[in-house]
Amino acid sequence: MSVSRYEFTKKLETGNAVIDKEHRELFQAVNKLLDACSAGKGRTSMDETIQFLNNYVDKHFAHEEQLQRQSGYPGITAHRTFHENYKRTLKEITSRISVSGPTIVELGNLNKHISVLVSHISTEDKKLGEFLNKQ
Ligand SMILES: [Fe+2]
């Protein structure tokens, strides 16, 4: 099965070096999981990439929230709510993949959920980057 890969393009840059670096690594973690799914690499390798991705998302979101708290970012509540919901749904999808394997349905759900992140980056995280740059 062919699976799309995610590319971190210049138009996704927020202008904050730390956030951009983490977003790049996030895309790599997503691509690794998609590779593991499509290559049928076996459960251990897939579960490792799943765990890494969830941990990385947790860490990165916490980091963004910390930057928002420190800077007094006005959109923090809505942004944090998005992060909470996002993490929960990501864990739900990836745990189903872990249990039942990368079915077409779950890979579709995963890809949809990744596009939600891409649009969050290109709107909300960009707003945050602009705010942080004005500090
Ligand atoms: Fe964010």
How much distance in Å is there from the Cα of 20 to the middle of ligand 1?
11
How much distance in Å is there from the Cα of 83 to the middle of ligand 1?
7
Condensed to tens digits (0 to 9), the pLDDT of residues 63-76 reads 999 999 999 999 99
Distance CA 124, CA 92 (A): 23
How much distance in Å is there from the Cα of 9 to the middle of ligand 1?
17
Condensed to tens digits (0 to 9), the pLDDT of residues 6-64 reads 999 999 999 999 999 999 999 999 999 999 998 877 788 899 999 999 999 999 999 99
How much distance in Å is there from the Cα of 86 to the middle of ligand 1?
10
Q: What is the pTM of this model?
A: 0.93
Question: Angle at which helices 43-71 and 126-133 pack, to 10 degrees?
Answer: 40
How much distance in Å is there from the Cα of 41 to the middle of ligand 1?
30
CATH of the structural domain 16-133, one choice from 3.50.30.60, 3.40.390.10, 1.20.120.50, 1.20.1250.20:
1.20.120.50
